[in-house]
Amino acid sequence: MGVYETPVMRLKGKQMAVVPEIRDAYLVVEDGVVAGYGAMKDMPAEISAVIAAPSADAVVEDLSGRFVFPAFADSHTHIVYAGSRETEYEDKIRGLSYVEIAKRGGGILNSADLLHRTSEDELYETAMQRLHQCVEGGTGAIEIKSGYGLSTEDELKMLRVIRRMKETAPIAVKSNFLAAHAFPRNFSDNHDGYVDLIVNEMIPLVAKEGLADFIDVFCDEGFFTVEQTARMLEAGAKYGMRPKIHANELALSGGIQVGVKYDALSVDHLEYVGKAERDVLRDSNTMATALPGAAFFLGMPYSPVREMIDDGLSVALASDFNPGSSPSASMKFVLSLASIKMKLTPSEALNAATVNGAYALGLAGTHGQISKGLKANFVITKPMPSFAYFSYSYTENLIEKVVVNK
């Protein structure tokens, strides 16, 4: 079982290698809160008494051979969307790249067309189904972005769906306003005009309804420039929206630098990271979040996360669950990719997906860890020979139960 005596805010560099562990442990949950834990041999007499004679209001479960670890904090998803994009998946198989598909009007614009024709109720139903898939896969807190609206009306529609999900989901949900995901067709020749619309119309309306915890921009080659990103982040900051942005997926775009400059909570993707980028991240409050599911699905380079951790940085992992570049809820598979493709140890990958994921969600110290007094949010595995087996056996369903509370 992985536990923290005192909740930690985030883990950096070498700290990421250690998951504090109690073997042969007991765990007590009362009213959805972790009330105690420790080694079986140190178990207090009153707990042994409950185990010896369980009553109707004290459920006892024998978890011999299982592992218990914190539920994942998935800090980057796009699970509100309409339809699916397997046609583009086939285009990719035939050789087109993500950028080529986007240039032909596919990609994000394709999802925006589908979303425009879909009602708020239907979007809510399908997104909740995906959220339940995430929870079944061990996710205990989640961030959800807008960004398939690309007009004032449809961005607000998406954010209202996310607000409903916040109210009804069994886990904590954070919302991220991502109108700057792509340029809509009516602004294809007037990119700054779309940025004006976001700054002057959308941000104030989103803020008025209190619909967004964060603001996001796809700051990358061929998408939003550093200057446009700075304008939008500055406008969002006036309304208390902290940046969590897409950066450096396609090039050394300057996205990391502009994110850190505006005190982003996280910069995400980071397939392209050099020394200059590592240097600005090192003493910042910004989490470096990698999304190996997208690199896997698109056949693109993986983020150089090993180098970043060795250089003392703090790294998180998230699913990027979306219809175009990562159609998967599985954080277990993200751990496998992190180890197999990015050379993180299973413990580093777990810390990145739990403690550091919670930081990147704005839930540091309350989620992504098991600690006394915190809400009970954890994964119970099936019997396994070791913790490393969980991501090693990369297609086996090894989750027996997920306990969540919000």
Q: Using CB under 6 A as the criterion, which residues of the chain lie in contact with ligand NIG when the complex forms?
A: 78, 107-108, 111, 218, 246, 249, 294, 320, 322-325
Q: Which is nearer to ligand NIG, 286 or 325 (CB)?
A: 325
Q: Looking only at residues 155 through 184 of this chain, which bind Fe ion when binding is defined by CB under 5 A?
A: none
Q: Which is nearer to Fe ion, 218 or 378 (CB)?
A: 218
Burial group, residue 69, by CB count within 10 angstroms (0-12, 13-18, 19+): buried
- Say which DSSP state 42 is in: G
Q: Which is nearer to ligand NIG, 78 or 367 (CB)?
A: 78
- Three-state SS at 276: helix
List Cα–Cα distances, 405 to 33, 331, 376, 380, 401, in angstroms: 8, 19, 6, 15, 13
Exposed e or buried b per residue across 231-264, where buried means at least 16 C-beta atoms within 10 angstroms of its C-beta = bbbebbeeeebbbbbbbbbbebbbbbbbbbbbeb
Q: Which is nearer to ligand NIG, 111 or 286 (CB)?
A: 111
List Cα–Cα distances, 200 to 74, 179, 234, 320, in angstroms: 31, 13, 12, 28
Q: Which is nearer to Fe ion, 320 or 348 (CB)?
A: 320
Report how far residue 246's alpha carbon sits from residue 181's, in angstroms, rounded to the nearest whole number: 9
CB 75 within 8 A of CB 362: no
Q: How many residues bind Fe ion (CB under 5 A)?
A: 1
Distance of closest approach, residue 175 Cβ to Fe ion, in angstroms: 14
Report how far residue 240's alpha carbon sits from residue 257's, in angstroms, rounded to the nearest whole number: 20
Q: Cα(first)–Cα(last) distance of the chain, in Å?
A: 21
Q: Which is nearer to Fe ion, 317 or 380 (CB)?
A: 317
Q: Which residue of this chain has its Cβ atom nearest to Fe ion in the complex?
A: 320
Paired with 402 in beta bridges are: 379
The partner in contact with residue 1, picked from Fe ion, ligand NIG, none with C-beta cut-offs of 5 to 8 angstroms by kind, is none
The partner in contact with residue 361, picked from Fe ion, ligand NIG, none with C-beta cut-offs of 5 to 8 angstroms by kind, is none
- Residue 58: φ, ψ to 5°: -130, 100
Distance of closest approach, residue 295 Cβ to Fe ion, in angstroms: 12
Q: Which is nearer to ligand NIG, 295 or 379 (CB)?
A: 295
Say whether residue 213 binds Fe ion (CB under 5 A): no
The partner in contact with residue 369, picked from ligand NIG, Fe ion, none with C-beta cut-offs of 5 to 8 angstroms by kind, is none
Distance of closest approach, residue 72 Cβ to ligand NIG, in angstroms: 17
The partner in contact with residue 292, picked from ligand NIG, Fe ion, none with C-beta cut-offs of 5 to 8 angstroms by kind, is none
The only residue of 278, 320, 369, 375 in contact with Fe ion, by rule CB under 5 A: 320
Report how far residue 230's alpha carbon sits from residue 34's, in angstroms, rounded to the nearest whole number: 42
Exposed e or buried b per residue across 207-218, where buried means at least 16 C-beta atoms within 10 angstroms of its C-beta = beeebbbbbbbb
Distance of closest approach, residue 369 Cβ to ligand NIG, in angstroms: 26
Q: Which is nearer to ligand NIG, 325 or 369 (CB)?
A: 325
Distance of closest approach, residue 287 Cβ to ligand NIG, in angstroms: 16
Distance of closest approach, residue 223 Cβ to ligand NIG, in angstroms: 8
Distance of closest approach, residue 150 Cβ to Fe ion, in angstroms: 15
Q: Which residues bind Fe ion (CB under 5 A)?
A: 320
